[in-house]
Structures are given as structure tokens and as C-alpha cells.
Amino acid sequence: MTKTERPITRTSELKISFEFFPPKSPDMEAQLWQTVEALQPYQPDFVSVTYGAGGTTREPTLSTVKRLIDDTPLATASHLTCVGATRDEVRAVVEEFEAAGVRHFVALRGDPQGGVGTRYAPHPGGYVNAADLVSGLRAMGDFEISVSAYPERHPESENDTVDLDMLKQKVDAGATRALTQFFFDNDVYERYMERVQAAGINIPIVPGIMPIQNLTQLKRFASMCGASIPSFLDARFEGSEGDAQARAAIAADLAAEQIADLSRRGVQEFHIYTMNRAPLTIATLDRLGVSPKAGRVSGAAA
């Protein structure tokens, strides 16, 4: 869609949030802060920063979160996992992040220390699972607590009933919002929401939107986390091999179309996995008619 065409959906009530990950090199750090500066004018509802299993990125996550809080007006959430940590160690991390200004955590169990596909074992003296972590967080303070949700089921869940029961446990423990694993078939999300509502779960279940930076890499990642790749994605990208500009345009079209369709189905809140890159996210928002807000505040990349 060109800039002169009519936006494909109404955007007056859309809420968006962005996910970032802590950089691992000086070049990646520069890219992150350029991305933050570019996306900040869209005034997201909040941004979140990921956190490695067992606290493997605790310091980079804390540094990133602290800079976002200190140098930008962005409401900033930190991910938190309980893999490889005792309850006391988790409390110490929470207190450190709270002192930095964090009032919103995305509470996740985290991947097994042996990697995706290996058996998960709770740390002795630690939290058993994400629901247990949410309960612990709720006891520590009046935090906003987001959790994960899986429209196509967590890869370790035996069936849909077990998967929904875990989400309900997290809600009963005090979760206030769920952010979904990425998906590309909106009918999958709609069927999931029917099961969620039937289970009596009534917190917002925010769709996680993944603009496709690299389809081949995405397929590898999706195979590990249980997300399906519909055949229509291959069909849309067919013939664009070797043309980076064309593939980026297709990816932006797909993400915008997905959000627009979900919006028509009544969804108004979306969590975008930016992969620390701004162009594709901006192109997606542009196609939706979402523009940077007035009063841009710079400083994140200073």
C-alpha cells in the first residue's frame, strides 16, 4: 500500500507495545538505541526488554531498562524468568529492577537451561513455574504483571486443557495481561480466545505480532517454539528471492493485514516483536495509518 492510499483499518483506538532485547555487542547496542529513537514517537503503551534464562542477560537487561527509564518517556517493562535461580535470588533481582524504576514485569518461567527441547527442572529452592513466579511477584509489590499465552499451545503442554490450565493458574496468581506467542493465522487466535473465555479467563490476551525479518530464520525459530507457518506465507514471498526491498514490503503488508483483520474482529491491542529493528515495524504502522505523534522527545540515542 502506498502512502497516498486509504489506511486499511481505523486506528484511533489501537494500542501498541514493542519488545526489545538487550544488545550483545557495541554495534547491536547502537542499532537498539537507533531503533528506540525511531519508534519512540509512536508513543507505545509500553515497551519490554527480554531477560535470559537463569539471569544470563540480567546485567544487559537492567542496563537497557534503566536507560529506557532514565532517558526516554517510555513506560518500560522488564521480562523476568525463574530458571536456575532460588527464590531469594529472584527477589534480589526484582528489588534491583524496582530500584531502577520498574513497575511492570513480564513473568516467564524461561527456557530449560539445557535449551529448547530439553527437560525442564525447577531449581531447588526456586519457583516451580510461571504461576508460582507470578504469585511471588504479587507478594513482593503492587506490580503490573504480564505473562505469556500460546494460541498454538506451549510445546511442553500435553494438550490444550493443560495449556489453558497453566494460563488460568497465572491469572489466579495475579497476572494482569497476557502477551501471546507469535502466530500468523488469525483463525487460530480466534479459536484460542473462544477456549480462553470458556475457561473463565478474563484478562487481556494481547496478540504478539512478528513482522517477518527473515522467513528462513523464522521457520527455524517457529519449529522450536511450536508456532506454525501457514503455506500462504511462502506463496506471498514467492518470486521475491534476492530482492530485499520487495521482501520487506511483503513482510510489512502481511503484518499490517494481520493487525487490520484482528482489529476488525474486535482486537485493539498489539505487542510487536521488533527484533531491535525499526524499518519493518514503521512500515507496518504506516500501512495501518498509524503516524508518529507530535512532541517527539529525543535523547535515547544521545
Known catalytic residue: 19?
yes
Residue 158 burial (CB count, 10 A)? 9
Q: How many Å apart are CA 133 and CA 170, to the nearest integer?
A: 9
HSE, CB side, 13 Å, CA atoms: give it for residue 171.
Answer: 19
User: Across-strand partners of 19?
Assistant: 48, 273
> Is residue 143 helix, strand or coil?
coil
For the chain, the first-to-last Cα distance in angstroms comes to 34
Which residue is listed with cell 544487559? Answer: 60
Residue type, 249: A
Contact status, residue 167 vs residue 157, Cβ threshold 8 Å: no
Which residue is listed with cell 530500584? Answer: 99
Among residues 5, 19, 238, 257, the one annotated as catalytic is: 19
Select from 188, 233, 243 the least CA-distant residue to 212: 233
Q: 186: part of which helix (H) or strand (E)?
A: helix 186-198
Biggest alpha carbon distance in the chain?
59
User: How many angstroms from the chain centroid is the CA of residue 88?
Assistant: 27
Q: How many Å apart are CA 200 and CA 198, to the nearest integer?
A: 5
Contacts of 75 (CB under 8 A, 6+ apart): 44, 45, 46, 47, 104
Which residues are catalytically annotated?
Answer: 19
